[in-house]
């Protein structure tokens, strides 16, 4: 209920009520929010006050507006900490979530010059090319294209890449993964990303390019991933 005698502004009280319903699961991600008119009539407050509360929650990313349709509860974003080197599978399991993959293609191809330079191998050397959709709780999160030196990481199969590649490299091959460098940029999804990530036209995506090395400095993997910007965010702790 709204306490009109409280020193707390009415719009702020409404914001907190809506936040509480979201956190308790009464309003679920993707649900449509009641209209400004409904809130105003139900609580006996002005539509301008309702509009201010909703606008503030949109700015805080609790809600989002779709033109001509209304205001909706924003899907919760998955957060990946960039302070450690983990695989998608390890990251999702650490959150208590079920990761899975949808394998699109798996083949051995000759390395083009730029890729060969990144992997420190001769041009046209064999590399595994793996294209897959990464899912969490059956929700498409990223379209991933992975290129791995076939002469270094031997014995890969489609079954292995659909589980955890890093576990295979360290547990089965006895190699130690050392470090990686990553580059991020934001862009608009292309046709392929729209199809496999099940997102609407003009949706933003976060592009990530990673080069991963073994502990002796040997590069073994180049990954190019397109993450859904509406479902994924990255976090980095910084110290002065």
The mean pLDDT of 203-225, rounded to a whole number, is: 92
Q: What is the pLDDT of residues 222-234, one digit of tens each?
A: 999 998 887 776 6
pLDDT for residue 183 is more than 70: yes
Separation in Å, CA 72 to CA 139, 140, 141: 19, 20, 20
pLDDT for residue 143 is more than 90: yes
Separation in Å, CA 187 to CA 2, 88, 146: 42, 21, 20
Q: What's the confidence (pLDDT) of residue 74?
A: 76
Specify the CATH number of the domain 78-235: 3.40.1410.10
Q: What's the confidence (pLDDT) of residue 141?
A: 85
Domain formed by 10-73, architecture: Orthogonal Bundle (1.10)
Rounded CA separation 189/185 (Å)? 12
State the residue for tokens 């392929």. 192
Q: Tell me the domain boundaries of the chain.
A: 10-73, 78-235
Phi and psi at residue 150, in whole multiples of 5°? Answer: -75, -25
- Beta bridge partners of residue 126, listed in sequence order: 110
pLDDT for residue 46 is more than 60: yes
Rounded CA separation 183/137 (Å)? 26
The mean pLDDT of 40-66, rounded to a whole number, is: 86
Alpha helix positions (H), the chain:
10-24, 36-43, 47-59, 88-94, 113-119, 158-161, 165-167, 191-197
The mean pLDDT of 186-212, rounded to a whole number, is: 90
Band the pLDDT of 190: cuts 50, 70, 90. Answer: very high
Who wins on pLDDT, 90 or 104?
104
pLDDT for residue 186 is more than 70: yes
Three-state SS for 120? coil
Q: What is the pLDDT of residues 59-92, one digit of tens each?
A: 877 788 888 888 888 776 555 555 555 566 666 6
% of the chain at pLDDT higher than 70:
88
Q: How many CB atoms lie within 10 A of CB 160?
A: 17
The mean pLDDT of 191-215, rounded to a whole number, is: 90
Q: What's the confidence (pLDDT) of residue 124?
A: 95
pLDDT for residue 23 is more than 90: no
Q: What's the confidence (pLDDT) of residue 93?
A: 67
- Name the burial class of residue 222, with classes exposed (0-12), middle (13-18) and buried (19+) by CB atoms within 10 angstroms of its CB: buried
Show Cβ contacts of residue 15 under 8 Å, excluding neighbours closer than 6 positions: 53, 56, 57
Both tokens of 225, joined, read: 């991933």
Q: What's the confidence (pLDDT) of residue 200?
A: 85
Rounded CA separation 143/132 (Å)? 6
């Amino acid at each position: 209920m709204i306490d009109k005698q409280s020193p707390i502004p009415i719009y702020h009280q409404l914001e907190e009520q809506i936040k509480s319903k979201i956190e308790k699961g009464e309003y679920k991600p993707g649900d449509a929010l009641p209209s400004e008119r409904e809130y105003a009539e139900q609580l006996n407050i002005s539509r301008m006050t309702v509009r201010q509360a909703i606008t503030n929650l949109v700015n805080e990313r609790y809600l989002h507006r779709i033109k001509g349709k209304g205001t909706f509860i924003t899907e919760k974003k998955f957060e990946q900490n960039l302070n450690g080197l983990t695989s998608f599978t390890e990251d999702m399991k650490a959150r208590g979530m079920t990761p899975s993959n949808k394998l699109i293609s798996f083949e051995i191809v000759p390395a083009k010059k730029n890729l060969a330079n990144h992997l420190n191998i001769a041009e046209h050397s064999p590399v595994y090319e793996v294209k897959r959709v990464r899912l969490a709780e059956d929700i498409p999160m990223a379209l991933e294209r992975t290129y791995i030196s076939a002469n270094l990481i031997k014995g890969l199969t489609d079954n292995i890449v659909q589980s955890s590649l890093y576990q295979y490299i360290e547990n089965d091959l006895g190699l130690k993964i050392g470090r990686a460098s990553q580059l991020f940029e934001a862009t608009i999804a292309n046709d392929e990303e729209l199809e496999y990530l099940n997102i609407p036209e003009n949706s933003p995506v976060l592009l990530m390019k990673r080069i991963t090395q073994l502990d002796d400095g040997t590069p073994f993997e180049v990954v190019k991933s397109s993450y859904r910007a509406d479902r994924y965010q990255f976090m980095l702790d910084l110290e002065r």
